[in-house]
Amino acid sequence: MSKKQTAFLIGKILFAAAVITLICRKVDLSHVWISIRDAERPPILLGILLCLGTVAISGWRWQRLLRVFQIPVKLLPLICIAQIGQFFVMFLPGPTGDDLTRMLYISRLAPGRVAEACTTVLLDRCIGLASVLLLAVLCVPWQWNVLATSPQTHWLAVVLVSAGGVVCLCGVLFFLAGHPTHQWFEKRLRSLPAHSWRDEITRIWGLLCANKKTLAQVIAAATVSQLLLCVLFYLAGFAVGIRMPFLVWLSFLPILLASGALPITVAGFGVREYLLVLFLGVLAQVDGARALAASFVTFAMILTVCVIGGILYVFYRPPQAVAAPPATSEGVP
C-alpha cells in the first residue's frame, strides 16, 4: 500500500471515529448497551442467514454476466469468491476490497480472458448501485412529506431520487430502444479516435445489447439483494425493540445503502450510524440510543458474515481452469 493510500485509509478511519464520537455524545451509551444486551436473538440469526443469501445471489449474478462474455464458470466458486470479498471489504479496505479480490480470483478461473472477466466485476458493481437507485425511486417518495420536514433528510432524498430517475430513464431507453438506436450508439463509439479501448467498448456494448434478457435478470436479482439488506436492517431494529412497519424502513434505507458506496469510511462505519439515527428520529421519533443500537446490531450481523468469508479465505482454493476460447461476435448487433 502506497503512502497516499495509507493516508487515505487513515483519513477514513478518523472520519468514522469522529462521526461515532459525535453521535455517542448525543445519546446515553448505557441505554445503547442495554438495548444490545437484551436484543432478541432469532431476528439476528435470521438476518445473518439473509446476509449470506445476498452473497449467494451475488455469485449467481456474476455467473450470468460471465456467460454474456461466454466465460463458463461454475456457481460454487463464484459464491465462495464473493464471500471472501466480503471479508476484505471489512478488514482490508481500499485497493484490496471486494472488487479487486474478485478480479484476482477470477483471473485464475478464466486464464486468457482476464480483462473480460474483470469487466464483469465492474459491470456487476454498476448494476448493484443502479439497483439501489431504482429502489430509491420506487420507495423514497412514500414518505416524502415526512422527509421534507428536515432539511438534511429532504436534500438527501432529493439527490438520491434525482440520480435514480436519471439511471431509470437510461435503463428504460436501453431496454426499449430497438436495433437502429443501438446501431446509432455503436457508430458514435466508432467515430471516436482509433484506440484499443474504443474497439473493446464497442464490442462490450454489442454483447450487452444482444443479451438484454440476461441483463434484466441480473438487475432483478440485484434489486432482490438490496431488498434483503433492507430486511436485515428491519430485523436489527425489531431485535432491539423498534416496532416500525417495513414500508417505513424502505422509505429511507435505499439512501443509507447508496451512502455505503461512498469511499469516505471503512465499510460504511459512521455514515451508517449517523443516517440511521437521523432517519429513524425524523420518520418514527425513535430515540437515538435505540437507533444506534440497531445500527450496531446490523454491523454485528454483517461482521459475522465477513468473518465467515475470512475463514473461507484461509481454507478455500479455487481450482485452476483451462483457458476458454475468446468470445465471438455471433449475435452481436
Domain boundaries, the chain: 31-315
Give the integer Cα–Cα distance in Å for 81 and 156.
33
**What confidence tens digit (pLDDT) does each residue in 172-223 have?**
888 887 666 666 666 666 666 655 666 777 778 888 888 899 999 999 999 9
Tens of pLDDT, residue by residue over 309-328, are: 989 998 888 766 544 454 44
Nearest of 44, 21, 64 to residue 218 by alpha carbon: 64
Mean pLDDT of 60-87: 92
Q: Using alpha carbons only, how large is the chain's radius of gyration in Å?
A: 21
Spatial distance between the Cα atoms of 73 and 86, rounded to a whole number of angstroms: 20
Q: How much is the mean pLDDT over the chain?
A: 83
**Sign of the dihedral defined by the CA atoms of residues 203, 209, 211, 216, in that order:** positive
| Distance, CA of 171 to CA of 216 (rounded, Å) | 10
pLDDT score of 206:
81
Q: Where are the beta strands (DSSP E) in the chain?
A: none
